[in-house]
Amino acid sequence: MKKIETAKVISQEEISSGIFSLWLENETVAGSAAAGQFVNLYCNNAGRLLPRPISLCEIDREKGRIRLVYRVQGKGTEEFSALKAGDTVKVLGPNGNGFPLDEAAGKLLYLVSGGIGIPPMLQTAKDAASAGTVSVMGYRNADIFLANDFAAHAKCVISTDDGSFGIQGNAAYALAQTAETMMPEIIFACGPKVLLAAVKKYAQENGIPCYLSMEERMACGVGACLACVCESAEVDGHTHVKNKRVCKEGPVFEAGEIVL
């Protein structure tokens, strides 16, 4: 069983409006982490009991470090944004199931993501042993982040909702546009449900294997409380109803496993 670890803050910076990049050092967590997993980060304020789940953006296994890129959305993440080099924070992980990178071996892989679903795709792009990787990233506007980090590991396609940069539309629309000249052989996606539903539909219509990383609010983050269940296509062996725990069975699912 995993235990709560103490991680040292190496650095932190705001890389976009309200988006922070936090490097933490803990050899135990980094040594067993995989692309697509997440960690639970604990507040130092005792009044905030529940951990905050944050996906792994990068893993430096050699130095025993992990990178978390997150958006400030509440009191917990606001507290994290004040962390500075030398501080410590409690962390539990890595948690959940990551992307099945072996399924992408030798195939043209598309990584389709939107908003705060973009960060976990960076380590996925780095670890993918595919025949080529295309990263399709959707933003609200030209205030983009991490695009330069992806450039060394994938062909990047950027879309914005307002058309201020790249293709106008969301990442699902940009996927369809790009695939007209370069059809994906497998798709990994992460982002809001509306994006995942569109990507799933596109993949099913074109007979493309597809895996989705779900975003859900979590409480315990370890599979005990059932606060983060999503609807599944089949009856789950744990709950005995058509639910799956995003923190335990996910966050990555084969697209056919879940209902969107």
Other C-beta atoms lying within 10 Å of the C-beta of residue 47: 6
φ/ψ of 171, rounded to 5, equals: -65, -30
Strand, coil or helix: 116: helix
Res. 1 pLDDT band, cuts 50 70 90: low
**Which residue, 5, 207, 165, is CA-closest to 91?**
5
Order of strands across the sheet that contains 252-254: 167-168, 155-160, 132-139, 108-114, 186-190, 210-213, 252-254
User: According to the model, what pLDDT value does residue 236 have?
Assistant: 75
SS (H, E, C) 58-88: EEECCCCEEEEEEECCCHHHHHHCCCCCCCE
Which pLDDT belongs to residue 130? 82
Percent pLDDT > 70 in the chain is 100
Residues 6+ apart with CB under 8 A from 244: 229, 230, 232, 236, 250, 253, 257, 258
Give the mean pLDDT of the chain. Answer: 94
What is residue 227's predicted lDDT score, i.e. its pLDDT?
Answer: 81
Calculate mean pLDDT across residues 18-23: 98
- SS3 label, residue 195: helix
Over 70: is that where the pLDDT of 234 sits?
A: yes
Q: How far apart are CA 78 and CA 106, in angstroms?
A: 42
Q: What is the mean predicted confidence (pLDDT) over 47-58?
A: 93
User: What is the token pair recorded at 99?
Assistant: 């992307």
- 223 falls in which pLDDT band (50, 70, 90)? confident
Question: If DSSP states are collapsed to H, E and C, what string results for 19-73?
Answer: EEEEEEECHHHHHHCCCCCEEEEECCCCCCCCCEEEEEEEEECCCCEEEEEEECC
Average the pLDDT over 45-73 and give the result: 95
pLDDT at 114: 97
Domains defined along the chain, listed by start: 5-95 (2.40.30.10), 101-212 (3.40.50.80), 214-260 (2.10.240.10)
| Cα distances (angstroms) measured from residue 24 to each of 130, 132, 134 | 28, 30, 28
pLDDT tens figures, 142-164: 999 999 999 999 999 999 999 99
Which position has the higher pLDDT, 173 or 239? 173
Range with lowest mean pLDDT among 26-35, 122-131, 222-231 = 222-231
Indicate if the pLDDT at residue 25 is higher than 70: yes
The whole-number pLDDT of residue 203 equals 98
The band of 238, judged by pLDDT with boundaries at 50, 70 and 90, is confident
Percent of the residues in the chain that have a pLDDT greater than 90, as a whole number:
82
Q: What confidence score (pLDDT) does residue 180 get? A: 95
Q: What does the pLDDT average to over 210-220?
A: 87
Residue range 98-120: mean pLDDT, rounded: 96
136 touches 178 (CB < 8 A): yes
Lowest mean pLDDT: which of 27-36, 103-112, 183-192, 243-252?
Answer: 243-252
